[in-house]
Amino acid sequence: MEEVSSIKTLPVKTGSVRAGEIFSSRLGVLTATLGSAVGLGNIWRFPYLTGSNGGAAFLIIYLICTVLVGIQVMVGEQMLGRAGKGNAIAALRALAPGKAWWLVGAAGVISAFLIMGFYSEVAGWVFAYIFKSLSGSILSTDPQVTTQAFTSLIANPTQSLVWQWIVLAVTGGILLFGVTKGIERTTKTLMPVLFLLLILVGIRSLTLPGAAQGLTYLFKPDFSVITADTFLEALGLSFFKLSVGMGCMMTYGSYFRSDQNIPTTATRVALADLMVSLMAGIAIFPAVFAFGFKPESGPSLLFITIPAVFASMPLGNVFMVAFFVLTAIASIGAMLSLLEVIVTFFNQQLGLNRKLSVVLTAAALAVFGSAAALSNSTLANVKILGLTFFDLYDYMSSNVLMPLGGLLISVFIGWIWGYPNIRKALSNEGMLKNERVIGMFFGLIKFVTPALIVIVLLNKLNIL
């Protein structure tokens, strides 16, 4: 009881968050957060990484990273965002006044730029493929034809840029409606559609003769291919898939209501996100094997193999449209949250109004992202650290900035902010009786989460 009466100073109430900038219902919180987590990471990245890194062996490592690191950082970020009532920079400034912790939030804005730089391009390809599958122009059972179709899209600078701008215009347009009417309403409408389409394509794939081979590829553990790199890959994927380590979940946390149960929300989101990833793998691999294709061990799986697979089945064009529409939907929810990190930077740090912030964000990304969009054409030979802009943006965000951000956030929570604050924030000022959950979270975020991130990073640098 003492705790409860002494927490008045802790700003976990949402009352003073500006009107309109709040998720209006618990369902809205769930769909928006899940919308951020589910994205190209689930459909484009998870299946090929799992398939080519030892199937279930990779899955086990990925699950360990998600339970011990990803979910904990998600809980931590949402908690800090709600308590600090603002995006990552504002929240960390409010919770650690006069200290340099807000720099973690600033790094998050840089991560958002890096991720959106290449993400908006891949989303652009997905958008383009919806139209191409509608017109039937990519429907061929010959992988050489589908390779040619993909190559001519990405090697064409004008098409690459235009599709990226279309993506930025669509997502920016949604954000102009604000948090409740833009993000919340869109994700509430689109997430059920995504699940339905995924189930539809999954059933089609699973009922094809020879589907079992695909399941074996995805789930049969092969520990012989596991290396130190695999751990970094799994950790990076966990950060990327759960949208953590870069302040995105802090920004969303600042829109949470004061009665939202954060540990439960984060766990549900992580579970649902995992389910979508597995469903995507189940929708893809059985079909790939059923028609005798090789599971390309790379991103081209989605744009080269998949069209050929769909072309091989009856009513394939219908399923292909469904598949690319669901992928586009997934990417939109994720991009709304990525853009929101930058929008709130202009809005909360630079004091610009929200609409102007959205326009500036989209414009800045059109410029920054063009280097990634042109990575397969005009700028193909420009390399930094041996990587094209596209690969550099990807590598720096997933494998460097997000794990480092996650490390600093967990250190801040466990060692600086401390148990009493955590307890007040996660119990919703004593309203929830979740002492044990909080105790477990505290133990993990203070010791286990940072230790695991450090081990993986040192291992990667060959120091361990």
Under rule CB under 6 A, residue 343 binds ligand PFF: no
Closest listed residue to residue 357, CA positions, set 369, 370, 367, 348:
348
Beta carbon of residue 19, minimum distance to ligand PFF (angstroms, whole number): 25
Alpha-carbon gap, residue 53 to 312, rounded angstroms: 27
Alpha-carbon gap, residue 458 to 464, rounded angstroms: 6
Written as six digits, the tokens of 44 are 């484009």
Taking phi first (over 0 means left), then psi (-120 to 50 degrees means alpha), and beta for anything else, what does residue 13 get?
beta
Applying CB under 6 A, among 12, 17, 22, 40 the residue interacting with ligand PFF is 40
Under rule CB under 6 A, residue 74 binds ligand PFF: no
Spacing of C-alpha 145 from chain mean position? 31
Beta carbon of residue 337, minimum distance to ligand PFF (angstroms, whole number): 5
Closest listed residue to residue 362, CA positions, set 181, 159, 120, 21:
120
Measured from the CB atom, the residue of 308 and 401 that comes closer to ligand PFF is: 401
Applying CB under 6 A, among 23, 58, 113, 240 the residue interacting with ligand PFF is 240
Measured from the CB atom, the residue of 329 and 438 that comes closer to ligand PFF is: 329
What is the number of other CB atoms lying within 10 angstroms of the CB of residue 153?
A: 19
Under rule CB under 6 A, residue 120 binds ligand PFF: no
Beta carbon of residue 244, minimum distance to ligand PFF (angstroms, whole number): 8
Applying CB under 6 A, among 39, 263, 281, 414 the residue interacting with ligand PFF is 39
Under rule CB under 6 A, residue 337 binds ligand PFF: yes
Measured from the CB atom, the residue of 11 and 105 that comes closer to ligand PFF is: 105
Q: Which window, 14-22, 188-196, 226-234, 240-248, contacts ligand PFF (CB under 6 A)?
A: 240-248
Closest listed residue to residue 51, CA positions, set 391, 288, 227:
288
Alpha-carbon gap, residue 457 to 259, rounded angstroms: 37
Q: Which of residues 248-287 bind ligand PFF (CB under 6 A)?
A: 248
CA 310 → CA 132, 263, 315, distances in Å?
13, 40, 8
Number of residues this chain uses to bind ligand PFF (CB under 6 A): 15
What is the number of other CB atoms lying within 10 angstroms of the CB of residue 363?
A: 12
Beta carbon of residue 119, minimum distance to ligand PFF (angstroms, whole number): 7
Applying CB under 6 A, among 14, 187, 230, 243 the residue interacting with ligand PFF is 243
**C-beta of residue 166 within 8 angstroms of C-beta of residue 127:** yes
Measured from the CB atom, the residue of 28 and 41 that comes closer to ligand PFF is: 41
Closest listed residue to residue 152, CA positions, set 168, 170, 129:
129
What is the number of other CB atoms lying within 10 angstroms of the CB of residue 192?
A: 11
DSSP code at position 415: I
Measured from the CB atom, the residue of 274 and 288 that comes closer to ligand PFF is: 274
Measured from the CB atom, the residue of 107 and 311 that comes closer to ligand PFF is: 107
Alpha-carbon gap, residue 317 to 327, rounded angstroms: 15
Measured from the CB atom, the residue of 237 and 444 that comes closer to ligand PFF is: 237
Under rule CB under 6 A, residue 338 binds ligand PFF: yes
Applying CB under 6 A, among 188, 241, 424, 460 the residue interacting with ligand PFF is 241
Q: Which window, 205-213, 334-342, 373-381, 446-454, contacts ligand PFF (CB under 6 A)?
A: 334-342
**C-beta of residue 309 within 8 angstroms of C-beta of residue 293:** yes
Q: Which window, 36-44, 56-64, 284-292, 343-351, contacts ligand PFF (CB under 6 A)?
A: 36-44
Spacing of C-alpha 135 from chain mean position? 30
DSSP code at position 20: T
Applying CB under 6 A, among 22, 69, 80, 115 the residue interacting with ligand PFF is 115
Give me the residue label for tokens 């709130």: 344
Beta carbon of residue 341, minimum distance to ligand PFF (angstroms, whole number): 6
- Contact string 288-327 vs ligand PFF (x = CB under 6 A): ----------------------------------------
Closest listed residue to residue 180, CA positions, set 31, 41, 57:
31
Spacing of C-alpha 92 from chain mean position? 22
Written as six digits, the tokens of 122 are 């891949």
Q: Which window, 10-18, 121-129, 237-245, 294-302, contacts ligand PFF (CB under 6 A)?
A: 237-245
Applying CB under 6 A, among 246, 270, 329, 332 the residue interacting with ligand PFF is 246
Site residues, ligand PFF (CB under 6 A): 36-37, 39-42, 115, 240-241, 243, 246, 248, 334, 337-338
